[in-house]
Amino acid sequence: MEFIRNTLGVIVGLAMSFVIITVGVRLNPSWVNYDSFSPFEHWGSVLFAAKDHHENYFFVALLISSGVAATIGGVVTAVIVPRAKVAYAILIGFILLFLAMIDVVVFPYHPTFYKITIFLVFFPFSWVGGKIVEVIFEKKKIKK
């Protein structure tokens, strides 16, 4: 039963992270120049257009939304899993970093600052999300 709950926690945390990153990318309507919702089909053209127009704001918004997503995904995961809350939150950061590295390799349109700072975003922010929940649960345990 604990395995199912841990798996569910990771899946829900990742889903929450993906939603937040998608919302962050779609904040500025000029960044997304297609009508249908198919982010993976058009992702290369969005990155190419952002780099071609020297719109570093797109990549800064992507980093900020990734940090917020890693934190909230870590919080959601840590709330759902029964034990090792910080470890599972960091797992969310590792999975998001792995997917971001695949994105950087497949689509070479990312600027250098983005490639470097994704390492500084996913792990610390997901760790913070796990620590938030751990501190809250410890305070509730002390009150009881």
At residue 32 the predicted structure's pLDDT band, cuts being 50, 70 and 90, is: low
52 versus 72: the higher-pLDDT residue is 72
Higher pLDDT, 117 or 58: 117
Tokens at 63, concatenated: 């980093």
Query: Taking Cα atoms as reference points, which of 95, 115, 122, 102 lies closest to residue 44?
Result: 102
With a CB cutoff of 8 Å and minimum separation 6, the contacts of 14 are 73, 92, 95, 96
pLDDT at 88 over 70: yes
pLDDT on residue 112: 87
Question: For 17-23, what is the mean pLDDT?
Answer: 90
Give the pLDDT confidence score for residue 8 in this predicted structure: 96
- Condensed to tens digits (0 to 9), the pLDDT of residues 35-48 reads 555 555 666 666 66
Share of the chain above pLDDT 70, in %: 81
The more confident residue out of 52 and 96 is 96
Spacing of C-alpha 128 from chain mean position: 13
CB burial string 60-91: b at 16+ within 10 A, e below: ebbbebbbbbbbbbbbbbbbbbeeebbebbbb
What is the overall mean pLDDT for the chain?
86
Residue 5 has pLDDT above 80, yes or no: yes
Burial class (CB in 10 A: 0-12, 13-18, 19+), 53: exposed
pTM of the model: 0.85
3-class secondary-structure state, position 109:
coil
Other beta carbons less than 10 A from residue 38's beta carbon? 9
- Residue-wise pLDDT for 93-117, tens only, equals 999 999 999 988 988 878 888 889 9
CB count in 10 Å sphere of residue 121 = 23
